[in-house]
Amino acid sequence: MKSLEDLKRIREEAKKKMTMRLDDEQKYRVVVGMATCGIAAGARPVLNELVEQVAKHDLPVTVTQTGCIGRCSLEPIVEVFDREGNKTTYVFMDAKKAKEVVERHLMRDEIIEEYTIGAAE
Amino acid sequence: MERIQVLVCAGTGCSIGNSSELVKKFEEEIRSFGLENEISVKKTGCLGLCGHGPNVSIYPDNIIYKTVHLDDVREIVQEHFYKGRPVKRLMIDEGDYNQEEIFDVNKTRFYAKQKRVALKDCGVIDPENIEEYIAKDGYVALGKVLTEMTSQEVIDEITKSGLRGRGGGGFLTGRKWQFAYNEKSDEKYVICNADEGDPGAFMDRSILEGNPHSVLEAMAIAGYAIGANHGYIYIRAEYPIAVERLKTAIKQAKEYGLLGKDIFGTGFDFDLEIRLGAGAFVCGEETALIQSIEGERGMPNPKPPFPAQSGVWGKPTIINNVETYANIAQIIKNGADWFRSIGTETSTGTKVFALGGKITNTGLVEVPMGTTLREVIYEIGGGCPDHKAFKAVQTGGPSGGCLTEEQLDTPIGFDELVKLGSMMGSGGMIVLDEDNCMVDVARFYMDFIVDESCGKCSPCRIGTKRLLELLNQICNGEGTLETLDELESLCYTIKETALCGLGQSAPNPVLSTLSQFRDEYIAHVVDKRCPAGVCKALLRYEIEPDMCRKCGLCARNCPVSAISGRIGKEIFHIDPEKCIKCGNCFHACHFNAIARK
């Protein structure tokens, strides 16, 4: 490399490979229920879609998985925590809905009422 | 798309625990679950919990699994990665509070009070991949220095930060640089002292193994500041992993144009070379280190001239320790005021300690200066294991001293520790409990010094040998009160007359134990008794006839058949002539019938 610009370019490129290890403050934490019930109901494509969309838009969001959340009949379940710890629970998720959650909730801070557990009940 | 990154510690401690096999096993199991596109496995540097290794850290959950065996890998992959249930039994367990479902290691007591500056990216990045260091804003400080600052501005910033040498002496780094900058010379040199020699110390080793680029970057900055184009890293051949990672790091930095000619197109050249030492303690002393780099036998020279005036090849040279360098890029990036805001007025920033000895969490910790010893030992270190009573903590290695229970509330700082008769040293912190004999501890350090004395000056060569003989006499029960006086006066003579820092500080462990634990010395010479039960010549094992149940377990465990008696019929008896005082019978007896006197 011959200049600071080169360094910056390499840094931006390298950062993409280790987003989950950077110190940046995360805006949301998304947790996908991945117990047997979740996987059986199709949680894996939901998880993959979330991870892909978050990476694609380079969002300050952590996507992790968890075990059984306890409402197996409503799986796949996705929980979104904001920085204050407020939780939004989405139920009966699929890849299409997951993409919508990324675009509306994670990017525009808009809770999609009709997918939440409140609406389902 | 990747959603989990597995970081396996590849430091020395965890490598001994077979962490390279773990990497392969993880990859294999991840493939068997078809998760290879979602999960990647990497090697990283020290996470600090060396006593519980091998450690594996999982992102983005930020969970650390400790003592991971090959057999545990499948469970982690299946339960955690596939089904999303972290494996609780392998997490850090501090006993008395509830674990969250997803457990953040930063909330554990071990990490909560730590602040990582020198170790910042150690254990987070792959030390063999320069791009991971760059992603963490690596080499930004070098770029800033070369394009925006003059040499004098760099030196002023480091001086203003109050950074003091982390190798032991605590000399102001900025001032050292200023001396070398002021010298007029066609050539100057920058040296990194990685000849970490204190028994039980592994701070520098872990930094080099976990984040070698932080040291390379800082050396280039130092080169720019004093006007040097060449640097040496003097490291002991006993650190093979660190040497390999350094070689890789230098090679990558050269490929990326971050070392070599015309860095960042600014016309500044800087090149680095590794010099291997044979692992002599004295070569950590500046002038001896320079001799060794020049290919001579490593022996100190009188100062002045100081290396800043006449160092390697007679040219102005600065020598800084690994940990000192590891702070430089952070200071340039975040500013001197940020660094000053950590620590105390006279000791700024943080300090890395290698916790060892009788401590629950053996490992590497980094705390802000001003943290008390009590916090480090009890809160981070978890106190002495097996409910034993704390006796002392040894800091500063063979040049330092011991601090007692009453002194534990002292805030950690260069001047504070010297005031108590010990010193910061390079950061070894060895905890001693009730089972340690302080005379024996002093003897251990003196034995080390006698081995490592270079032999150039007689106070050190002959004096330390005589000190060791006196300590041996005391441990063997041949000492008298006069021996103690002789010991003390010899200590002061050596302190005043030895040539270099090694010799001058060599009597410190004796003087410090003598002043803090004089009663133990007196017990050895007057009562001919070792209160901790360590010095074998002063020990006697006896079977209490009233307590003996005639089971014969002691006799079965005796390696020299010194115990006689008849099972069920006759009380057992130890023959003091034959007994080698190994203590096997003492530990074997279920009825506390064996007394150690």
- The string of pLDDT tens digits covering residues A49-61 is 999 998 888 888 8
Confidence of residue B313 (pLDDT cuts 50, 70, 90): very high
Cβ-defined contact of A11 to B1 (cutoff 8 Å): no
Reduced to 3 states, what is the DSSP secondary structure of residue B431?
Answer: strand
- What are the C-alpha distances in Å from B367 to residues A23, B336, B377, B378? 19, 18, 12, 13
Q: What is the CATH number of domain B350-433?
A: 3.10.20.600
A14 touches chain B (CB under 8 A): yes
A contacts of B265 (beta carbons < 8 Å): 2-3
- The string of pLDDT tens digits covering residues B53-86 is 899 999 888 889 999 999 999 999 998 998 888 8
Q: Is the ipTM of this complex over 0.85?
A: no
| pLDDT confidence of residue B99 | 53
Confidence of residue B19 (pLDDT cuts 50, 70, 90): confident
- The string of pLDDT tens digits covering residues B550-583 is 999 999 999 999 999 999 889 999 998 899 988 8
- The string of pLDDT tens digits covering residues B419-478 is 888 888 888 999 999 999 999 999 999 999 999 999 999 999 999 999 999 999 999 999
Question: By percentage, how much of chain B surpasses pLDDT 70?
Answer: 98
B positions 43-62 inside 8 Å of A (CB): 59-61
User: Phi and psi at residue B497, in whole multiples of 5°?
Assistant: -115, -15
Domain with CATH 1.20.1440.230 in chain B: 438-525
Contact indicator for B449, B506 with CB cutoff of 8 Å: yes
Mean pLDDT of B154-183: 94
The mean of the pLDDT values for chain B is: 92
What CATH fold (topology level) applies to the domain A26-120? Glutaredoxin (3.40.30)
Contact indicator for B443, B521 with CB cutoff of 8 Å: no
* Best B47, B119, B134, B148 residue to mutate vs chain A (most A CBs within 10 Å): B134
Cβ-defined contact of B82 to A34 (cutoff 8 Å): yes
Kindly report the nearest CA distance between residue B338 and chain A, in angstroms. Answer: 17
Pick the residue from chain A with its C-alpha nearest to B60. Answer: A20
Name the class of domain B541-596.
alpha beta
The minimal CB distance from B1 to the residues A32, A34, A51 is found for A51
A86 versus B231: which is more confidently predicted? B231
Cβ-defined contact of A3 to B59 (cutoff 8 Å): no
- For residue B494, is pLDDT > 70? yes
- For residue B344, is pLDDT > 90? yes
Kindly report the nearest CA distance between residue A111 and chain B, in angstroms. Answer: 24
Cβ-defined contact of A35 to B264 (cutoff 8 Å): no
Domain with CATH 3.40.30.10 in chain B: 4-110
B contacts of A52 (beta carbons < 8 Å): 1
- The string of pLDDT tens digits covering residues A34-54 is 888 888 899 989 999 999 998
| pLDDT confidence of residue B103 | 61
- The string of pLDDT tens digits covering residues B203-214 is 999 999 999 999
B4-110 under CATH 3.40.30.10, yes or no: yes
The minimal CB distance from A21 to the residues B124, B147, B256 is found for B124
- The string of pLDDT tens digits covering residues B386-422 is 889 999 999 988 888 999 999 999 999 999 998 888 8
- Enumerate the domain spans of chain A: 26-120
The minimal CB distance from A48 to the residues B1, B83, B147 is found for B1
Give the start-end residues of each E strand in B101-217.
189-194
Q: What is the rounded distance in angstroms from the CA atom of residue B284 to the CA atom of residue B282?
A: 5
A contacts of B83 (beta carbons < 8 Å): 34-36, 39, 65, 67
Q: What is the rounded distance in angstroms from the CA atom of residue B307 to the CA atom of residue A88?
A: 64
B135 touches chain A (CB under 8 A): yes
Q: What six digits make up the tokens of B104?
A: 């953040």
Where do the H-state alpha helices sit in B67-170? Answer: 70-75, 109-112, 130-135, 140-148, 151-161
Contact indicator for B381, B365 with CB cutoff of 8 Å: yes
The architecture that CATH gives domain B130-339 is: 3-Layer(aba) Sandwich (3.40)
Contact indicator for B72, B55 with CB cutoff of 8 Å: no
Query: Which residues touch B58 (CB under 8 Å, ≥6 apart)?
Result: B4, B5, B6, B7, B64, B65, B80, B86
Convert B316-346 into a string of H (helix), E (strand) and C (coil).
CEEEEEHHHHHHHHHHHHHCHHHHHCCECCC
B438-525 under CATH 3.90.180.10, yes or no: no
**Burial level of A100, CB count in 10 A (0-12/13-18/19+)?**
middle
- For residue B197, is pLDDT > 90? no
| pLDDT confidence of residue B512 | 94
A contacts of B82 (beta carbons < 8 Å): 34
